[in-house]
Amino acid sequence: MPRTLVTGGAGFLGSHLCDYLLEKGHEVICMDNLLTGSLDNIEHTKSDRFKFINHNVTEYIDLDGPVDYILHFASPASPIDYLEHPIPTLKVGSLGTHNALGLAKKKKSVFLIASTSEVYGDPLVHPQEEDYWGNVNPVGPRGVYDEAKRFAEAITMAYHRYHGIDAKIVRIFNTYGPRMRINDGRAIPNFLKQALTGEDLTAYGDGSQTRSFCYVSDLIEGIYRLLMSDLNEPCNIGNPIEMTIQQMAEKILQASGSKSKIIYTPLPEDDPKVRQPNIGKARKHLDWEPQVKLDEGLKTTMDYFKEQLNV
């Protein structure tokens, strides 16, 4: 039975990963300090192969016994979170990744780091392919997240090259689904909350900036395939169907039956104008591409939000 550590395992993506790994027969250790994660995301997990440890991975990590896989997902991930917690975001990307890699070296574990499309910054290349180095403002307010992840990629590759660790880097594009926080601050949670409670939907700028939205089950499947692959280079996992924020707001109004209006607020500093993954590498090496249609994914996500909001 593989024994697997998921840092940030009580978060949105981490908790879905824990569920998937348990289904695949793993013994799962979920480590989280609950800065942005929640025990609500893992309270349904009753397996005797599951263990939760409340620990901040910026402090030294040690576990008894073997650890076959380490998936490092600990980090604030929404702009609201990393603007509120800039230093913990930098520390978890640097010290936290260093500690997780140290454990992987000691235990001879396969290591996977959750990176992000934000390493591409406000891209000058479209769509974004893994060999693009990005256009990032290192001293802007978003730099705390972007540069933390860029450093995490750099130290992961250093451990791969120097210590021979079997390391994987997944660059995650916009993902949505159940267990996103109501006040997450990203487009889909914002729009769903506003539409379901009768508030106006707030779009940044003129709503023309684009994103590509991947349903969470598709993303987790892609991550698992990467974990089990022999690919040691960064790999984009996301849905290549691009749409504007305006189109997403209209889609949610239509799906919810809401009579709310769309209003426009100033575009945040360094907010990317476009975002679309080139997933050629994932198709070729992982035989992966997203399966869940937007209408289907939005319905499941909306049902979850209705339950959370009691509407």
Q: Are 33 and 7 in contact (CB under 8 A)?
A: no
Q: Do 306 and 196 contact (CB within 8 A), yes or no?
A: yes
Catalytically annotated residue among 120, 145, 176, 224: 145
Is the distance from CB of 204 to CB of 245 less than 8 angstroms?
Answer: yes
CA distances from 46 to 1, 49, 171 (A): 18, 9, 30
CA 64 to mean position of chain CA atoms: 28
Alpha carbon separation from 125 to 121, 129, 140, 165, 277 (Å, rounded)? 10, 8, 20, 31, 11
Asked about 145 being catalytic, the answer comes back as yes
Q: Which of 140, 136, 153 is nearest to 235 (CA)?
A: 153
Q: How far apart are CA 41 and CA 51, in angstroms?
A: 14
- Distance between CA 244 and CA 24 in Å, rounded? 36
Q: State the catalytic residues.
A: 145
